[in-house]
Amino acid sequence: MTTSALRPPVLRPGDPVMLVSPSGPTTPELVARGVELLTGWGLRPVLGPNAYARHGYLAGDDVLRAADLNAAFADPEIRGVICTRGGYGAQRVVDLIDMAAVRSDPKVVAGFSDITALQFALWRGARLAGVHGPGAAWRDERLPLASVESMHAALMTPAPVTVAAVAAEESFGVRVPGRAEGVLLGGNLCLITASIGTADMPDLTGAVLLVEEVQEPPYKIDRMLTHLRRAGALDGLAGVAVGQFTDCADGWDTTVVDVLTDRLGDLGVPVLGGLPIGHGPGQLTVPVGTPAVLDATAGTLTVAPAVR
């Protein structure tokens, strides 16, 4: 696996950032809080022309969503790209991205959930480091001050990010002690699994894999992890960082912790659960595509900045 990442410049007060919707649709009411936060940091949010488009469960058709991404990457004034939300649809547009524009003028791209597909594509096409964090459709009830500060730090300070495991997180019970070093790659488990067989599935040899999920019952988590194992995608991993597995329960006795322990615990690498990264309350932001140290014994994940 190539470990050298293309790290975009840190965002600075006065920088314009474009808000785009590569996946599902959103509304001005939901994005208003994100605009307020970004403006409070001194940034200048610029709405993508099609950010509020809607085409069923997509934020406009594929051509429109790709056009906003390419407009952001091609505009020399725009210094960052903030996705409004996840949902579904990023995989439908990633092959339309102008990777030459991404490589010639790298910009920090922030998002999570379905945006994992976009982060994978940008890693494949440009080795662009990104930011796994909340979208501009910001919800204060889920994202308290710590979430605000974490996102601000990841975008606007070229400093390493350290996230500690939290006992209150359901995945806290998933742990294999040890210390691992490698590039942090991954994000939402569904999107990682859906990338198998595509050009965007990264070679995870020597990597620290980040996994998180929402509203998937334990048997589906089992199925996805088993698929990754059988496809050989987990061969050669350095370690696994387990984020939030939010609302992942059903009526069976087997819990998501049981499944994660069973499917990840015998890989022979350090595994650390309980990281507040994902869809749950108190979500924190981490770079992806940069070197990380997973200390499962101490309960911390430290990641080099995505920005320089």
What is the distance between the alpha carbons of residues 238 and 183, in angstroms, rounded to a whole number?
9
Q: The tokens of 145 are what?
A: 């001050």
Report how far residue 276's alpha carbon sits from residue 169's, in angstroms, rounded to the nearest whole number: 7
Q: Which residue has the tokens 């314009």?
A: 16
Q: Which of 134, 124, 64, 71 is nearest to 279 (CA)?
A: 134
E-assigned strand segments in 107-233: 108-111, 130-132, 161-164, 175-176, 179-188, 208-214
Q: In the chain, what is the straight-line distance between the N-terminal and C-terminal CA atoms, in Å?
A: 22
CB-based contact 180:238 (threshold 8 Å): yes
Contact between residue 279 and residue 169 where contact means Cβ atoms under 8 Å apart = no
Residue at token pair 């507040």:
276
Catalytic positions, please?
113, 212, 279
What is the rounded CA–CA span in Å between residue 251 and residue 254? Answer: 9
Instruction: Quote the tokens at residue 126.
Output: 């440009």
Residues with Cβ within 8 Å of residue 121, at least 6 apart in sequence: 90, 94, 95, 97, 200
What does the angle CA 10 – CA 12 – CA 13 come to, to the nearest 5 degrees? 165
Give dist(CA 79, CA 261) in Å, integer: 41
